Amino acid sequence: MAEMKQPVAIIGAGISGLIACKFVAQKGLHPVVYEAEDGIGGVWARTINSTKLQNHKSTYEFCDFPWPSSVQTDYPSHQQVLDYLHSYALHFDILPFINFNSRVLSIDYDTDGVDEMESYSPQLWGGTGLPFAKEPRWILEVQDTKTNTVQVHRAGFVILCMGKYSGMPYIPEFPPNEGPEVFHGKVLHSMDYASISKNKIGGVSACTQLVKGKKVAVVGSLKSAMDIAMECAEANGAENPCTLLVRNPHWLTPSDQAWGVDIGLLYNSRFSELLVHKPGENFLLSVIATLLSPVRWGISKFVESYLRWKLPLKKHGMLPKHSFFVEVSSCQVATIPPKFYQKVEEGSIVLRKSNSFTFSKNGLVIDDDDTQPVEADVVILATGYQGNQKLKSIFRSTTFQKYISTSPTSIMPLYRQVIQPRIPQLAVIGYAEGISDLFSSDMRCQWLVHVLDGSFKLPSIKEMEEEIRSWEMNMKEYAGEYFWRSCVGINNIWYNDQLCKDMGRKYFRKQSILAELFHPYLPSDYASLSNE
């Protein structure tokens, strides 16, 4: 089919972009990768020096490219992860497909003058249900970041692998005269902090130079905030303690075990998924999940009891209000830096809780009137990113912007967490989360290339939207206020089962019934998937 050789534009050369390129090329299609930076790796190329992998490496690997034996640690450093990605790119000869220093400013769908809303069949994706039109319809405006020149390219299909945790930082809004503009010190986002972490001044890290001898306040409660606070504490000690301002404490784990039991056994097995309701489940599975809900509650309390014992959470006011199960359901489980609470105990890190804050000329004013303001010379905002807005803004069409965007009461509307039913010839990889972002992207890219080569056709738009709603209801049921993260973590195996069924692959992949029920499912279980 001639149309199968149309360019497949892949935007981003992070983890998802590399995997997408590899599978698209292996299918005999024509991938063209656009990467704004001068190298691969995405967020792993722009993270702070002390960052390590939060997942056990066995869960964070390519299905068909294991970690090298030279990496002995269970939680590799960010440089080891980056080296691993480079090895993958070299092994599968991905680099020749990548256009570096090429920022995609916008994408637009050529409707040949026909109103966009009229160009779709009410039943089929793109009007035909096919992944390619007769001619390439996507128009990409691409800027050379070295010369600032802009060129226009066409593609038959677009895969957005832009990442949701980079590029567009979330900065809280402040009342007039109470924002960063009134602060006499320096304010930066964790993204900016990470960007200077590789620079050295006189042999010393630029980040160390930034915080050394300064009063530093870090705003945030997840992994980036903790890592930055640790770096500041190690640079200054108790003489100039780092203040970590936390709104909602989270269950951060010191390791992948609780009371000697692998947490993966508790939350990443078929048995663990019997304890929860699943989108599209049958009556029997529904009854089992209802009957076993006390077991689910007990497992959560089991892990929480260990974390309460292991870490002085109550002493420092860091006990979360939500359960560990909610943490898993919203894909927010992370590891706490080693010796973090030792730094708290010695006074190198000061923990403060606050629902909101504003700036003064000398630091931060928190919402509790009975407490003292936080004096600071440097404020680092580890407040996250606007992944939804970043994705939305690349579309020129306001109609497509409406289709791809989320509201405060909805998730990103993607079928199989990949396809927006009303946007033709386009896929999104890397937005929805699972137990491991690399593993999730690998599975989704394998599924997507089966769509691209016509191995199976997508359901009708109506059926896809009904499926999206069922997953949204499931996420809202378990993830509480964090449902918007589009997390399939507690139903990760069930989700992968659906992908395997679509591809015509077996989904029970263990060697025995006991292993199938109780052993964690890992990327290695799907190593032969593409060859079956």
Domain residue spans of the chain: 5-164+384-524, 178-253+310-379
**Tokens standing for residue 182:** 């009134």
Q: pTM of the entire structure?
A: 0.94
Q: Is 225 exposed, middle or buried (0-12, 13-18, 19+ CB in 10 A)?
A: buried
Do the domains 5-164+384-524 and 178-253+310-379 sit in the same CATH topology, yes or no? yes
The two structure tokens encoding residue 446:
């394998």
Distance, CA of 249 to CA of 51 (rounded, Å): 20
CA dihedral 254, 259, 264, 269 (to 10 degrees): -160
- State residue 197's pLDDT score: 78
Fold of 178-253+310-379: FAD/NAD(P)-binding domain (3.50.50)
- Asked if 145 and 101 touch (Cβ cutoff 8 Å), the reply is yes
Strand locations in 373-452, DSSP E? 374-375, 378-381, 426-428
pLDDT by 10-residue block (mean), the chain, 532 residues: 73 97 96 96 86 89 95 92 97 97 96 53 85 94 96 97 85 92 94 83 78 94 92 93 94 92 92 96 97 97 97 95 94 90 96 91 80 88 89 94 86 95 96 90 97 94 96 93 87 97 96 94 92 80
In sequence order, the 6+-apart residues with CB closer than 8 A to the CB of 529 are 63, 446, 500, 503, 505
| Nearest-10 Cα torsion for 97, 100, 103, 107 | -10
Which residues does 515 contact at the CB level (< 8 Å), separation at least 6? none
Q: Is 173 exposed, middle or buried (0-12, 13-18, 19+ CB in 10 A)?
A: exposed
Q: What residues contact residue 448 under an 8 Å CB cut-off, 6+ apart?
A: 20, 23, 159, 418, 427, 429
Please give the helix or strand (H or E) that residue 150 lies within, else none: strand 150-155
- The burial class, CB within 10 Å (0-12 / 13-18 / 19+), for 393 is middle
Give me the residue label for tokens 């190298």. 39
How far apart are the C-alpha atoms of 325 and 296, rounded to whole Å? 8
Handedness of CA 393, 395, 397, 402 (dihedral sign): negative
Q: For position 385, what pLDDT does the model report?
A: 87
CA–CA separation, 340 and 313 (whole Å)? 12
Class of domain 5-164+384-524: alpha beta
CA angle centred on 172, ends 359 and 438, rounded to 5°: 135
- Segment 496-510, tens digit of pLDDT: 999 999 999 999 999
**Cα 269 from Cα 277, distance rounded (Å):** 14
What secondary structure letter does DSSP report for 66? P
Give dist(CA 228, CA 283) in Å, integer.
48
Of the candidates 159, 190, 199, the residue with the CA atom closest to the CA atom of residue 15: 159
Do residues 91 and 68 make contact, with C-beta atoms less than 8 angstroms apart? no
